[in-house]
Amino acid sequence: MWQAQHVKTLLERCGHQVSLLGMTTLGDQILDRALSKVGGKGLFVKELEVALAQGRADLAVHSLKDVPMELPEGFSLACVMEREDPRDAFVSNRFDSLADLPQSAVVGSSSLRRMALLRAARPDLRIEPLRGNLDTRLRKLDDGQYDAIVLAAAGLKRLGLESRIRSVFDPASMLPAAGQGALGIEVLSARQDVFQALAPLAHHTTWLAVAAERAVSRAMGGSCSMPLAAFATFQGNILTIDAAWGDPEGRLELVSVRDCAAVNDLASAAALGTQAATELRSRVVAKGGVVHYPSETPGHA
């Protein structure tokens, strides 16, 4: 709702009249099981897409990292907004950083990506499932169920909870998820009027970076059921993408790649991501890992 209110405010500044249609998705309701076991990222967007298709809503605001890599026919990603902090945050009431945690400390996270990266950095830790909204997760920490939890820094900052962050992870050690920290706005593909209304909110360099990241996930057949990370940054017109695949059980060594190229449009950004995914998949297979190939050709969303 914070994200929707933020977009509402920006559109109103552009002269549009906007009202909010609050909804609870299935992903918000299922809190006792990991997303990878109950349907994945699509659980956060399906109800919103139904509202778009029925004409009850003109646009849907998503955390981009929760948006499936392939949208249903007739739906489009119409806008990617400027990215908030893309990093992961270390949250604890007793310890300042991951390095400060004692042997066998309990860390909460249900993200396979975070689990894999945490185990690569600290194989001695106990990683336990953690679901729910931010208040629920923080309450579980405060109740003593965990020594620390790992959350997206962007979500904490947006909700005014930045004070709960003890430290942020350097992306070099805790590579973010594709699209983390960015907001994506989904609309019906035929609604060119809404595309035009959203144009002033789009952030070009963020969109190119996340296009490369999402291309990695798409080419790897990725979803929340795959322990995959991808993060891209610009220096001038050169986009550098880092991607990593890890074993959440810690049985295989973390595999990572880095690629860079001059990028100026969504097609070249996606091509860079696909190239990185090809190299990553080859290295994963060489290490004995399993990669599920996507059923569709990578696109440029």
CATH of domain 88-168: 3.40.190.10
Largest CA distance in the chain: 56
Q: How far apart are the first and last CA of the chain?
A: 24
Residue type, 122: R
Domain 204-301 CATH assignment equals 3.20.20.10: no
DSSP, res 83:
P
pLDDT at 243: 97
Per-residue CA distances from 93 to 85, 112, 140, 142, 149 (Å): 22, 24, 12, 7, 10
Mean pLDDT of 23-32: 52
Which residues are CB-contacts of 52 (< 8 A; sequence separation ≥ 6)?
A: 58, 59, 60, 75, 186, 187, 188
pLDDT at 69: 85
Residue 144 predicted with pLDDT over 60: yes
Please give the angle made by the CA atoms of 203, 12 and 43, to the nearest 5 degrees: 65
The number of beta carbons lying within 10 Å of the beta carbon of residue 3 is 17
Distance CA 230, CA 179 (A): 8
DSSP, res 182:
-
DSSP, res 177:
P
Task: Answer yes or no: 66 catalytic.
Answer: yes
Instruction: Give this prediction's pTM.
Output: 0.86
Q: What mean pLDDT value characterizes the chain?
A: 88
Q: Return the higher-pLDDT residue of 232 and 224.
A: 232
pLDDT at 157: 95
Q: 66, 242, 247, 259: which is the annotated catalytic residue? A: 66
Mean pLDDT of 137-147: 96
Distance CA 223, CA 11 (A): 31
User: pLDDT tens, 93-113?
Assistant: 999 999 999 999 999 998 899
Distance CA 244, CA 178 (A): 11
Q: 6-20, 39-53, 84-98, 131-145 — which is least confidently predicted?
A: 39-53
Residue 285 predicted with pLDDT over 90: no
pLDDT at 224: 55
Domain 1-83+181-202 CATH assignment equals 3.40.190.10: yes
Residue 180 · residue 86 · CB < 8 Å: yes
pLDDT at 68: 86
Please give the angle made by the CA atoms of 14, 18 and 20, to the nearest 5 degrees: 140
Residue 239 · residue 208 · CB < 8 Å: yes
Residue 214 · residue 206 · CB < 8 Å: no
Enumerate the domain spans of the chain. Answer: 1-83+181-202, 88-168, 204-301
Q: Return the higher-pLDDT residue of 289 and 126.
A: 126
Reduced to 3 states, what is the DSSP secondary structure of residue 279? Answer: helix
Q: 21-25, 36-40, 110-114 — which is least confidently predicted?
A: 36-40
Does 88-168 match 1-83+181-202 at the fold level? yes
Distance CA 236, CA 63 (A): 26
Residue 67 predicted with pLDDT over 60: yes
Question: Which pair of tokens denotes residue 299?
Answer: 């696109």
Residues above pLDDT 90, as percent of the chain: 72
pLDDT at 100: 97
Reduced to 3 states, what is the DSSP secondary structure of residue 80? Answer: strand
